[in-house]
Amino acid sequence: MKFAQRVEQLPPYLFAAISRLIEEKKSQGVDVISLGIGDPDLPTPNHILESLNKYSFVPENHRYPESEGLPEFREAVARWYSNRHNVILDPSTEIVSLIGSKEGIAHLPLCFIDPGDISLITDPGYPVYEIATMFAGGSSIRVPLEEKNGWMPDLKTIDKDVIKKSKILWLNYPNNPTGAVATKAFFEEAIEWAHSNDILIAHDLAYADVTFDDYVAPSILEINGAKDVAIEFNSLSKTFNMTGWRIAMAVGNADVIDALTRVKSNMDSGVPQAIQQMAITAMDDPRDSITVHNKIYQIRRDKVLKVLRDLGLQVETPKASLYVWAKLPEGESNSGDYAAQLVEETGVVVTPGSSYGISGEGYIRISLTISDERLDEALSRLSEFASRK
């Protein structure tokens, strides 16, 4: 049996490899604590779960949903964007529901990329941007993110011949894995660049509402002219601790939303309607649960920062996201080796920065999505490790 070339070329998914490492260590009797995967440990708020329970008994919700999403869901998304970002969206043409933003990200290149076309992906970055491009038959060119530029790409350095073959520029702020945030000035520059080069910007806003120290993350659609050249992926996963419910949305340019909807209608049957109605409850209610969750994450962030600095890692205080991005101590250069050493000597799993691309080498990523008790134990082990160094 011979598999398709695209499958032969497919690397192991990053978090699948982390899960295998955890299982291997557990089988050896190690009490493993994973700080590697960004899956919120805090539960979905009760009032949102009660809404799901209510709507799961509605007979109409036991049938196939539509790929574009319920009109009521799309109207709720439009309200959310109006209230949160002062962005006006047409629910009938500029919004589509997604089975989690990962699904939409994976399908978007099928709308744009033909063999020979290029996606511009930021490095370090979320691996699915590149994999989705490969599935569509295209290739990816990595645009480096560097600490000296605040982990934002320098669009002026992209080769003109590369730009001619490029169809999509992927952006993600607040950023995974670095935790960096983008300024509106950068978004304005990016929108102007996209207009000049006839390239779509696909902005991943999964961490819009996981923010600290009174920071408010903007949508790229807040920029004048953005809807001409951009769409945005947004999700309830991190905002409302709903990763398991798989509910998200793509919004923005109507022609792109139409193309994505047509692809999806041939690939999936949409998000279960009771989950969409659950999401409406989440978006229409006050932001109290978001505030409570972010206070918990901020306390965890501050604990992590102290211990990492004691370990000799260099780290900026992130204003957003569920991660702390840390530069290896002086004398250490290989993030994979350093992460492996931590697992061997402490049983604590972190993600090597190199897993997110060449520019991530020399860094590790720590996730804040673990119970306070287990986080304290992990930090205690890391502090003990630091004292032995």
Taking only the tens place, the pLDDT of each residue in 153-204 is: 999 999 999 999 999 999 999 999 999 999 999 999 999 999 999 999 999 9
Give the pLDDT score at 307. 95
Return the C-alpha torsion angle 95, 99, 103, 107, nearest 10: -50
Please state, as a whole number, how many other Cβ atoms lie within 10 Å of the Cβ of residue 36.
Answer: 28
- DSSP letter (8 states) at residue 243: G
What's residue 306's pLDDT?
Answer: 95
Distance separating alpha carbons of residues 129 and 120, to the nearest angstrom: 9
- Check whether 4 has a pLDDT greater than 90: no
Query: Which amino acid, residue 242?
Result: M
Task: Compute the average pLDDT of residues 100-104.
Answer: 97
* Ramachandran region, residue 363 (left: φ > 0; alpha: ψ -120 to 50; beta: rest): beta
pLDDT for the residue numbered 18 = 66
Q: What is the DSSP letter of 370?
A: S
What is the identity of the amino acid at 341? Answer: Q
Tally the C-alpha atoms within 13 A of residue 121's C-alpha that lie toward its C-beta.
Answer: 27
Specify the residue for token string 């004398």: 331
pLDDT of 5: 85
User: Per residue in 42-59, pLDDT tens?
Assistant: 999 999 999 999 999 999
The pLDDT value recorded for residue 16 is 64
Tokens of residue 356, six digits: 């997110």
pLDDT band for position 336 (cuts 50, 70, 90) = confident
What number of other Cβ atoms are within 10 A of residue 92's Cβ?
Answer: 13
| Per-residue model confidence as pLDDT tens digits over 340-384 | 889 889 999 999 999 999 999 999 999 999 999 999 999 999 999
Helix axes 71-85, 273-284, angle to 10 degrees: 20
pLDDT at 293 over 90: yes
Per-residue pLDDT, 203: 98
Q: Give the tens place of pLDDT for each residue, 117-140.
A: 999 999 999 999 999 999 999 999
Enter the DSSP assignment of 176.
Answer: T
* pTM of the shown model: 0.95
Residue 149 pLDDT greater than 90, yes or no: yes
**What are the tokens at 206?**
């999964």
Tell me how crowded residue 381 is: count the other CB atoms within 10 A of its CB: 18
Please, what sign has the CA dihedral across residues 13, 146, 108, 222? Answer: positive
Domains of the chain, first to last: 5-44+288-388 (3.90.1150.10), 63-284 (3.40.640.10)
CA distance 296 to 304: 13
Question: Would you say 36 and 15 are in contact if contact means Cβ atoms under 8 Å apart?
Answer: yes
Q: Which residues contact 329 (CB under 8 A, 6 or more apart)?
A: 311, 312, 313
Longest dimension (CA), the chain: 63
